[in-house]
């Protein structure tokens, strides 16, 4: 990398950019120096790195002088330009919306960080961009165990700000403080009002609008499990609609969720309200068309929002599900009655979520189906962080590409990508950053394709010199072993179920019978350990560096190399009566696997504790504990059999059957509870 720094005169920086620039510079002080002083006083977290004059030798270090100016002609649009002036050492960034200024800085850093080591010779190329979108956002799940720490959320916001993201939602079902309701988010790591305000202030300084994102109908199992909320329960996860006390509760929730934020928008959820009106509601009110319950409930929630100056949005799926004979969201034969369409308030934004389809024509059709409901939809795509340990980046690129092409074709203005945490949030959410970068590149590109070279350059600019886009994508291969023909078309999670399935019962093994899994994972582990070392450089291992995070999928791949074929090999040796092979596996393979699982547990715990609040880790740690206990039992059983204390091992004698269908060239996506045991008794 060339020895170069960006020189910024804080006396000339627009006031609206100062606080955000201070945070970015304090995070990456090796890339910046100062012609003036930032005069940030108490705002500056590190006066040595933020406010000091540059002490480097001008002969050895190339200084690029950067100035910023808001262009009135660009208004509040996501538009930006970088012009190179003078001898090539002066650049001028002009911008419309504040988020565009940080996007331009990220692109500039990308150019700086991807040039070869050429002494003090640095070449900066001019560029111009304008997004056709008014919202380019992200949504991070903070409700399925993993509640982002405030410092980790700030780090995430800094990276996505340099990508040009201008909206962020933290999805909080119960993980926010509601005054007077101690069992709301009880022992779940809920955000305090002060924490949410701190994040809103921080995001605002980076040009990002924080929008509260909650639930006001379904997905409320976490509060409805407690006796304190029994009176609000229709079913186990759905609130009791059309009861005054329910709306008193919802007003408290909406006020608590929205008051820490500047925005006047709020996402109130209402998706997947399966069985609405079929539980206690039916006992109290009798049979009623679910469409009518939904619209009546939405109208009451809308009234609460209106009283407090808020514009709500909801997930749209229930309208399509209730109109489908199969209760499916994407049923092309769904019928939504005209009176239901007319009853949907037009000042409630409908969010069309779709993370699955590979064809842009499908998204285009469903955008039009949403418009038929009477308003312009908001699009929600996804970077696949759920049900896995590392983001499924190839599949995310495929779906995001199809989605964004359709959005541009149809002229949608608001779009965001989700990062869900289903089944325990085992995933490191930072693994989604390449997917967000791809989404951002699409958002700032008028055409249908993303420039792959620019994508990689901008990823370094947004995330740092040690952030190698291709290494991060390579880590997604934990879910792409033999059996997966094209990772860009498959969202299976074999890396998860191969780890968690019982080592003796291994109910998923028939789906991977005969596949060279061990070879795949050995090669992947070696590649990822090498990538982690490269990313970390000469530094001590530090959780703030990307190399530390790459160690997580590296250790996972190593554990899978040892476990993925173990039961198969044990059963084959057992059926042959090959005691020597069994004794060898008892002496070497099983101890190595137990050590690998312990190493994985430790690195996973370290990544978790630096990323999420400690609440929720007990769920994931219980899984590690269960696996380690079963491996200990496996060793004891084998030893007893080989010593003649057991006459047989029934678990190895039983013939395994295929538990589910899998499409050719694909492996399925399966939850922990399904693979850990064939029993439904948990």
What tens digit of pLDDT does each residue of 460-484 get? 999 999 999 999 999 999 999 999 9
Report pLDDT for 490. 97
Q: Is the pLDDT of residue 376 over 50?
A: yes
Q: In what order do the strands lie in the sheet with 62-70?
A: 32-34, 4-8, 62-70, 90-95, 79-85, 127-130
Report pLDDT for 56. 57
Model confidence band, residue 45 (pLDDT cutoffs 50, 70, 90): very low
Q: What is the pLDDT of residues 378-394, one digit of tens each?
A: 999 999 999 999 999 99
Tokens at residue 449, please?
């394709």
Give the C-alpha separation, 20 to 158, whole Å: 8
| Average pLDDT score over residue span 401-407 | 98
Mean pLDDT is lowest, of 18-32, 37-51, 86-100, for 37-51
Of residues 148 and 48, the one with the higher pLDDT is 148
| Average pLDDT score over residue span 127-135 | 98
Q: Is the pLDDT of residue 1 over 80?
A: no
Q: What is the mean pLDDT of the chain?
A: 94
Q: What is the pLDDT of residues 421-442, one digit of tens each?
A: 999 999 999 999 999 999 999 9
DSSP 393: H
Residues 6+ apart with CB under 8 A from 215: 173, 268, 269, 270
Give the C-alpha separation, 286 to 310, whole Å: 33
Q: Is the pLDDT of residue 42 over 70?
A: no
Paired strand residues for 416: 137, 380
Give the C-alpha separation, 518 to 567, whole Å: 12
Check: CB of residue 478 under 8 Å from CB of residue 556: yes
Report pLDDT for 576. 97
Question: Rounded to two decimals, what is the model's pTM?
Answer: 0.96
Check: CB of residue 172 under 8 Å from CB of residue 213: yes
Report pLDDT for 37. 53
Of residues 528 and 42, the one with the higher pLDDT is 528
| Average pLDDT score over residue span 317-329 | 97
Give the C-alpha separation, 54 to 205, whole Å: 25
Tokens at residue 412, please?
């949608």
Report pLDDT for 48. 47
Give the C-alpha separation, 307 to 251, whole Å: 10
Report pLDDT for 63. 86
Residue (of 458, 380, 399) closest to 163 by Cα position: 458
Report pLDDT for 393. 98
Residue (of 556, 269, 530) closest to 431 by Cα position: 556
Report pLDDT for 47. 44
Q: What is the pLDDT of residues 531-544, one digit of tens each?
A: 999 998 756 556 55
Report pLDDT for 117. 63
Check: CB of residue 399 under 8 Å from CB of residue 382: yes
Check: CB of residue 541 under 8 Å from CB of residue 606: no
Model confidence band, residue 146 (pLDDT cutoffs 50, 70, 90): very high
Task: Classify strands 209-210 and 4-8 as parallel, antiparallel or unpaired.
Answer: unpaired
Report pLDDT for 33. 86
Model confidence band, residue 49 (pLDDT cutoffs 50, 70, 90): very low
Of residues 159 and 43, the one with the higher pLDDT is 159
Q: Is the pLDDT of residue 31 over 60?
A: yes
Q: What percent of the chain has pLDDT over 90?
A: 90
| Average pLDDT score over residue span 255-273 | 98
Coil, strand, or helix at residue 317? helix
Q: What percent of the chain has pLDDT over 70?
A: 94
Mean pLDDT is lowest, of 52-66, 91-105, 234-248, 303-317, for 52-66
Report pLDDT for 540. 59
- In the chain, count H helices and then E strands: 25, 14
Cα-based torsion angle of the residue sequence 289, 292, 293, 295 in order, rounded to the nearest 10 degrees: 150
């Amino acid at each position: 990398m060339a020895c170069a720094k960006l020189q910024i005169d804080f006396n000339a920086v627009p006031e609206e950019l100062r606080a955000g620039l201070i945070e970015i510079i304090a995070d990456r002080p090796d890339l910046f120096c100062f012609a003036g002083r930032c005069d940030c006083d108490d705002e500056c977290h590190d006066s040595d790195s933020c406010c000091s004059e540059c002490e480097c030798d001008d002969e050895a270090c190339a200084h690029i002088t950067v100035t910023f100016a808001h262009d009135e002609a660009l208004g509040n649009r996501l538009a930006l330009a970088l012009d190179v002036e003078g001898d090539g050492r002066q650049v001028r960034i002009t911008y419309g919306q504040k988020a565009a200024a940080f996007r331009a800085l990220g692109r500039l850093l990308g150019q700086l960080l991807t040039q070869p080591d050429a002494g003090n010779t640095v070449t900066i190329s001019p560029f111009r961009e304008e997004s056709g979108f008014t919202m380019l956002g992200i949504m991070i799940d903070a409700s399925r165990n993993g509640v982002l720490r405030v410092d980790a959320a700030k780090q995430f916001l800094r990276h996505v700000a340099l990508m040009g993201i201008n909206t962020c939602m933290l999805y909080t079902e119960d993980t926010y403080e509601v005054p007077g309701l101690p069992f709301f988010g009880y022992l779940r790591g809920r955000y305090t009002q002060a924490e949410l305000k701190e994040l809103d202030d921080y995001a605002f300084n980076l040009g990002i609008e924080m929008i509260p994102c909650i639930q006001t109908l379904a997905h409320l199992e976490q509060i409805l499990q407690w006796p304190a909320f029994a009176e609000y329960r229709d079913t186990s996860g759905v609130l009791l609609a059309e009861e005054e006390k329910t709306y008193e509760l919802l007003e408290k929730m909406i006020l608590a969720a929205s008051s820490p934020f500047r925005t006047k928008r709020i996402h109130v959820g209402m998706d997947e309200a399966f069985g609405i009106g079929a539980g206690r509601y039916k006992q109290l009110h009798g049979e009623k068309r679910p469409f009518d319950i939904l619209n009546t409930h939405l109208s009451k929630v809308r009234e609460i929002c209106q009283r407090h100056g808020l514009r709500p949005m909801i997930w749209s799926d229930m309208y399509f599900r209730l109109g489908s004979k199969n209760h499916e969201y994407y049923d092309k034969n769904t019928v939504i009655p005209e009176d239901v369409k007319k009853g949907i308030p037009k000042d409630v934004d409908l969010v069309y979520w779709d993370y699955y389809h590979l064809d842009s024509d499908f998204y285009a059709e469903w955008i039009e189906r949403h418009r038929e409901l009477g308003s312009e939809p908001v699009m929600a795509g996804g970077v696949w962080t759920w049900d896995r340990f590392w983001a499924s980046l190839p599949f995310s690129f495929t779906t995001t590409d199809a989605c964004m092409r359709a959005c541009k074709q149809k002229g949608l203005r608001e779009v965001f990508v989700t990062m869900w945490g289903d089944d325990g949030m085992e995933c490191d959410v930072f693994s989604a950053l390449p997917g967000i970068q791809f989404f951002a590149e699409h958002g700032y590109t008028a055409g249908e394709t993303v420039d792959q070279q620019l994508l990689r350059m901008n990823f370094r600019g947004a995330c740092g010199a040690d952030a190698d886009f291709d290494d991060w994508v390579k880590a997604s291969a934990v879910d792409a072993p033999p059996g997966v023909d094209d990772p860009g078309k498959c969202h299976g999670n074999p890396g998860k179920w191969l780890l968690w399935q019982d080592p003796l019962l291994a109910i998923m093994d028939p789906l991977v019978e005969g596949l060279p899994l061990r070879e795949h994972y050995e090669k992947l582990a070696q590649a990822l350990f090498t990538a982690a070392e490269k990313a970390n450089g000469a530094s001590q291992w530090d959780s703030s560096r990307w190399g530390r995070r790459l160690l997580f999928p590296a250790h996972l791949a190593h554990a899978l190399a040892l476990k993925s074929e173990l039961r198969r090999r044990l059963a084959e040796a057992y059926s042959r009566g090959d005691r020597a092979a069994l004794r060898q596996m008892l002496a070497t393979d099983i101890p190595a696997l137990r050590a690998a699982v312990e190493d994985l547990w430790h690195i996973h715990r370290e990544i978790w504790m630096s990323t999420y609040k400690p609440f929720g880790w007990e769920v994931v740690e219980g899984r590690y504990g269960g696996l380690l206990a079963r491996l200990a039992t496996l060793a004891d059983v084998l030893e007893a059999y080989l010593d003649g204390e057991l006459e047989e091992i029934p678990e190895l004698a039983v013939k395994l059957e295929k538990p589910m269908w899998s499409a050719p060239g694909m492996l399925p996506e399966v939850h922990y509870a399904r693979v850990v045991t064939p029993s439904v008794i948990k």
